[in-house]
Amino acid sequence: PHYADLCGFTDGEIKKLIQTFADFIETKPRLLIPVDLPVFPEGKNAWIETLYQLMVNLYDGYIFSPYIQKRVYNPTLVMYLLKQLEELDGQLPESLIDFNLIPDRGRLEYIAELPGGKDLIMELNQNKRIKISKLTPRFGLTDMLEKSAKTREFMGSYLYFMGMLTMGQNFSSTTKKELKIPNPVTQTLYIDGISRWMIADPESRDVGFEAAEQLTHYDKIAPLRKYIEKHVFPTFHWRDRRWANELTIKSIFMCLMMDDTNFLMISERQSRSGYADLAMIVRPDR
C-alpha cells in the first residue's frame, strides 16, 4: 500500500503539474498564436481549472491497493496531453486519447475470443464493473494457453493487470472482489471493441457513424433509429437476448456516437436530479 501511487500521478501532483505547466506555456516562445494575442483568452486561472477538470473526468480513477482509497491518474495520458498542449501553444489537441493505448485493444480482443469473454466485456461496458471471487496474482504459460483455465476470475484479473480495470469500492470484501473501468478514456476501448464485433462490416459501421452524425450535428434521430433497426438488431444471435435491455440500447448508442474530438461521453454522470444514463458533454474548446 505504501507504493500504491507509484504508477501514476496523485491529485495533488496533477494540480502542481498543471500550475507549473501553465507558467511554462505563458513564457515559452509561441509559433502558432500571434504574440499580440493572450495565451489564455479566458484567464490563466480559468485555463488551469478547465484543464484540471478535463483530466479528472478522463484520466483519473486508478486504485492499486485495497488498503487505501488513493486514486491516481494515468501517466501516459497525462504526459500525452501536456506534450500536445506544449506543441499547440496551450490549445487542446483534436484527440484526447493517446494512440499508444491502441495495443490495449488487442488485449480486449484476446478476452473476447475466450468462452464467455464477449459476455464479460458487454457486462463491463453496461455496468462499468464486475465481481470476481479473487484476484489471480500471476499468470503461468499453461494458464495462458489452456482454455480450461480461462475462468471469469482469470479474465477479470488479466484485464486488471493489463490496466483495463482497477479496484472497485468493495474490493476488500470477503466475498466478491469488485473491479471497475477506471475512466471514460478506458471505456472507449471497450466501446471500440464492442462496435467491431457487433457491426463487423467496416462499410456498415461507416454508415452507422454517418447516421449518428445526423443526430449529433443536426438533431435528427430518425436515420440512426432506422440504421439500428436494420443493421444492428439483426446481428444479435438469439442467445444474445439476455443482453436485450435498456443497457443494450445505451451500448449501441455509445458505439455509434463516440466522438472524442467534439464531445466527452460519460456514462452515469451525476447531476442535481440524479444520474444521466448517457451524457455527451461538449469539449471546452468547442
Model confidence pLDDT, tens digit, residues 5-56? 888 999 999 999 999 999 999 999 888 888 888 889 899 999 999 999 999 9
The answer to whether residue 271 scores a pLDDT higher than 70 is no
Instruction: Say if residues 152 and 116 touch (Cβ distance below 8 Å).
Output: yes
CA dist., res. 258 & res. 280, Å (int): 9
Check residues 277 and 240 and name the one with the higher pLDDT: 277
> Distance of CA 190 to CAs 99, 164, 174, 175, Å?
15, 9, 28, 27
Quick one: pLDDT at residue 91?
92
The answer to whether residue 243 scores a pLDDT higher than 60 is no
Check residues 238 and 229 and name the one with the higher pLDDT: 229
The answer to whether residue 96 scores a pLDDT higher than 90 is no
Mean pLDDT over 245-261 rounds to: 79
Please spell the DSSP secondary structure of 65-81, one letter per residue.
Answer: -TT----BB-HHHHHHH
Quick one: DSSP state of residue 92?
A: P
pLDDT in tens, 120-163: 988 888 888 999 988 887 766 666 666 556 788 989 999 998 88
pTM listed for this prediction: 0.83
**Triad 103, 117, 61: Cα angle to 5°:** 55
CA dist., res. 45 & res. 42, Å (int): 8
The answer to whether residue 240 scores a pLDDT higher than 60 is no
Quick one: DSSP state of residue 266?
A: E
Quick one: pLDDT at residue 238?
47
CA dist., res. 69 & res. 56, Å (int): 16
- Written as nine digits, the cell of 151 is 475462468
